[in-house]
Amino acid sequence: MNMAIVCVGRLKERYWREAAAEYEKRLSRFGKMEVIELPDLPEPSHVSPAAEAQVCQREGQTILQKLREDDVVVALCIDGRRLDSVQLSEQVARLGDSGRRVVFVIGGSLGLSKDVVARAQLKLSFSPMTFPHQLARIMLLEQLYRACKIQAGERYHK
């Protein structure tokens, strides 16, 4: 399977980088996994809804530039579908069966622009809670690894 994660922001702390590297290594035996980090734009000091929307829109344009026309896009959103691990595994397998690259998108601290969400074939939520993008990325990598193990019929702890 050919997958990618497009995410706003980088992993600054060593422990996040180490965790991401470990799951990326584990995932590599199931197919290609690419992580594309985009710069986290600074939030305006005057936090008006219009200023936030502008930053979110600019980040969204950068995200959309990294997506290919034939990509299957999964946007991580608070209001997305919540799936258990088996359901996620089945969904990832269905999306990947097309032979197209499956791209998971993690936005910055202001979320994803409407244009990015509109481009997505699936909106996915881990929880109604908000997580820092570093943790969301590790959670996504772990769940993708779990999904691949489930699809391969391999044992994975519950």
Tell me if 20 sits within 8 A of 141, measured CB to CB: yes
Alpha-carbon gap, residue 131 to 77, rounded angstroms: 11
Q: Tell whether the model's pLDDT for residue 129 goes beyond 80.
A: yes
What CATH number should be reported for the domain whose range is 2-41+53-124+132-151?
A: 3.40.1280.10
- Per-residue pLDDT tens over the stretch 37-95: 999 887 767 778 888 888 889 999 999 999 999 999 999 999 999 999 999 999 999 99
Q: pLDDT band at residue 131, thresholds of 50, 70 and 90?
A: confident
Alpha-carbon gap, residue 141 to 124, rounded angstroms: 14
Dump strand ranges (E) for the chain.
2-8, 32-38, 72-81, 102-106, 122-124
Predicted pLDDT of residue 69: 95
Predicted pLDDT of residue 157: 63
Predicted pLDDT of residue 158: 59
* 144: amino acid identity, one letter: L
* pTM assigned to the model: 0.93
